[in-house]
Structure formats: structure tokens, C-alpha cells
Amino acid sequence: MKVLLLTGLGALFFAYYWDDNFDPASLHGARVLLTGVSAGIGEELAYHYARLGSHLVLTAHTEALLQQVVGNCRKLGAPKVFYIAADMASPEVPERVVQFALDKLGGLDYLVLNHLGAAPAGTRVRSSQSTRWLMQAFTPSPSGLGFLLRPVTRSRHLQMNFLSYVQLTSSALPSLTDSKGSLVVVSSLLGRVPTSFSSPYSAAKFALDSFFSSLRRELDVQEVNVAITMCVLGLRDRASAAEGVRGITRVRAAPGPKAALAVIRGGATRASGVFYPWRFHLLCLLRSWMPHSRAWFVRQELNITTPAAA
């Protein structure tokens, strides 16, 4: 009986991932606002959308790098590409970026959130200062389609980064509602399954995941037809916010272009979640189902022969 049950569950699990209803043509002419495109997964996302014929508004902090990505997108066939250099830590910037996109594209079908806030100068990934800076608890309170942010500590840097996601989402929701569009949030496995030496990064991602889970429930209650796709990615083969765990973890980096394509497919099919590589979904499930085996999972993730950097 147990064998049959496990076989059935396995068949359902693999059927879930093999069910492919992605239509690349659906993204031709789609209006996309994409943040954090100067490098890494954001850059790869921009190139995939360009090849698929989407109309793009791209934003990042560094204008020189942003212009290079825009030029490449035009070469790859994007019919319309606009850009706006923006520092999302500035409170007035997110709404201005959304308005720029609406003015240039006439509306939005996709808002893809990928940007990260920079740590204060002098902090390191595993330092106690960095941990105090990032470790906050947030209480998003629903009020219409907007949310109130109540930071427990005084970290303005993370507060403004978190607030930028809230402001971008709130500003874009009316247009996404009209187009029955999608909100795509690029997150990390470390926001679901925290591991050693990653507490600052995990704290930030967990806060964002919690916010968008709450937002999804509110949209469902209000019957607002906007899909929210949470994308859980592992380490990538390009720039990564979890650079400090390289050499310590056994987890191999995922190819950036393939991870980006998985994000785009998930958003286009309005999936509630994307896990890349797909085995991360199974890992998250096992960690939830077998909490007493957590120490074993942690040991499997770490290369214990490599000493942690001071």
C-alpha cells in the first residue's frame, strides 16, 4: 500500500512539472517592466524577453551597465526598449519608475521584481553588523491594495529596499488589473530553506516572500485577476547576492540563462511558484515534512572540509 501511495505521489509530482502549457507567442508584444537588469539573472531575463518580442522598460542603478543591456536587447529583436536609471532606495523613485513605464508602454502586462538593495559600506555577508542590519521583522497590514510597513528596528536601508517592492507593486497594480497581468518576484531558495552562513540574505528574502503571500490572499479575496509568481532560485553562475556561501555549500550554481527562462515560463503560465532547479521544490517539501531531520539536511548542504572564512 505504501509503495502504491508513494508511486502515485511521485507520478503526480512529475506530471506537475512535465505539464508544459507555455506559449512563447503569448509574450510577443507583452509590456514588461523589469528591475535589476544590470547583471546576473536580471540581465538574462531582459535578453529572453527581447528574443520573445516583448516591449520592455528596464531599470537598474548603474546607467552605463543599463545602456549596454538595452543595446543588446535591441540587437536581439525587442521591438521597443526604454530604460530609466534608478536608485530604489530613494522613496520617490519606485512610483516614478512605474509612471515612466506606463507613459512609454501605455500599460503593463508584467511587473518583474528582481532588484536588491546594497548593504551599508563596510559590512560583510557574515558579519554581525550585516546581520543586525538585515534581520528585521515586518508586519504588512492590508489596506485596499496598499500596505503599511512597520519595521521593528531602525534599519533604513532594508526598510527602503522592502518599501520599493511595496511601492512598485501598489503603483503597477491598477494597470496589471486592467490587463489581467502578472507580477513576477525573483526570490531565492534561502528565503524558504535557510542554511548556514546566510542569515542576513535569508532574512531579507523571507520578509519579501511573506509580504507577497499576504498580497496574493488579499487579491484572491477581492477577486482581482492578477497572478503572482514567486520564483525560488538557487545559486547562479553569475553575480549572486549569496556570494559569501560559495566554497562552503555543496550546491552547484545553476546556469543563469536557464534559470531566467524558467522564471519567464512561470510568469507567462501564471504559475503560483517556480523552483529552479525543480528539485528545490522537493527539498522545501521534505524540510517541512521532516523537521526533525533538519540537521541532516544541513550537513548534506555543506562542504565541511572547507573552513568558514573569518
Q: What angle do CA 68, 244, 185 make, to 5 degrees?
A: 55
* Strand stretches in the chain, DSSP E: 31-35, 55-60, 80-85, 110-113, 141-143, 146-148, 182-188, 227-233, 273-276
pLDDT in tens, the chain (310 residues): 555 555 555 555 554 455 568 899 999 999 999 999 998 899 999 999 999 999 999 999 999 999 999 999 999 999 999 999 998 888 889 999 999 999 999 999 999 999 875 444 344 444 444 444 444 333 344 444 443 333 333 344 455 567 889 899 999 999 999 999 999 999 876 666 665 555 666 666 777 888 888 999 999 999 999 999 988 887 554 444 444 444 545 555 566 788 899 999 999 999 998 888 776 666 666 665 555 555 565 555 555 554 544 4
Catalytic residues: 201
What confidence score (pLDDT) does residue 187 get?
A: 82
Q: Who contacts 246 (Cβ-Cβ below 8 Å, separation ≥6)? A: 235, 240, 253
What is d(CA 247, CA 308) in angstroms, rounded to the nearest whole number? 9
Q: What is the pLDDT of residue 64?
A: 94
pTM for this model (two decimals): 0.74
Asked whether 162 and 207 are in contact (CB, 8 A), the reply is yes
